[in-house]
């Protein structure tokens, strides 16, 4: 499954932050407000990514209430193949059970 670079997730902020390091390949990143940003570890590559996490109204299904966020991932200096690899890894670490 290929994720678009902007999508909604039913996840708590705490769970998102907990899973993010593995999802970005353990690259160091900074958290500024509701955004997370990192740069390629190799000096001189000039590649950066930024993930904006925006809280949305909760999804309510009967008695169930799920936290929901909009996720926007922006890339600078990445080739299309590298973006696809990043998104594939990201999706893998946030995948939930089910159909």
The pLDDT assigned to 99 comes to 40
Mean pLDDT by 10 residues, the chain (99 residues): 76 94 93 91 76 94 93 91 92 75
Looking at the domain assignment, is residue 37 inside a domain?
A: yes
> Which residue matches tokens 């999706």?
91
The pLDDT assigned to 39 comes to 86
What are the backbone angles phi and psi of residue 76, rounded to the nearest 5°? -130, 125
Q: What is the CATH number of the domain that holds 58?
A: 3.30.310
Domain with 36, as residue range(s), is: 6-94
CA of 53: how far to CAs of 5, 16, 59, 81, 99, in Å?
Answer: 12, 9, 16, 24, 25
Looking at the domain assignment, is residue 51 inside a domain?
A: yes
CA of 36: how far to CAs of 5, 50, 62, 74, in Å?
Answer: 14, 6, 33, 11
Number of domains in the chain: 1
Q: Rounded to whole angstroms, how far apart are CA atoms 67 and 78? A: 31
Looking at the domain assignment, is residue 64 inside a domain?
A: yes
Looking at the domain assignment, is residue 72 inside a domain?
A: yes
Looking at the domain assignment, is residue 23 inside a domain?
A: yes
Looking at the domain assignment, is residue 99 inside a domain?
A: no
The pTM assigned to this predicted structure is 0.84
């Amino acid at each position: 499954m290929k994720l678009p670079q902007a999508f909604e997730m039913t996840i708590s902020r705490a769970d998102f932050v907990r899973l993010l390091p593995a999802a970005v390949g353990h690259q160091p990143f900074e958290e500024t407000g509701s955004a997370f940003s990192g740069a390629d570890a190799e000096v001189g590559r000039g590649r950066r990514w930024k993930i904006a996490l925006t809280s949305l109204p909760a999804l309510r299904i009967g008695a169930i209430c799920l936290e929901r966020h909009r996720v926007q991932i922006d890339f600078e200096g990445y080739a299309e193949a590298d973006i696809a690899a990043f998104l594939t890894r990201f999706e893998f670490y946030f995948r939930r059970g089910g159909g």
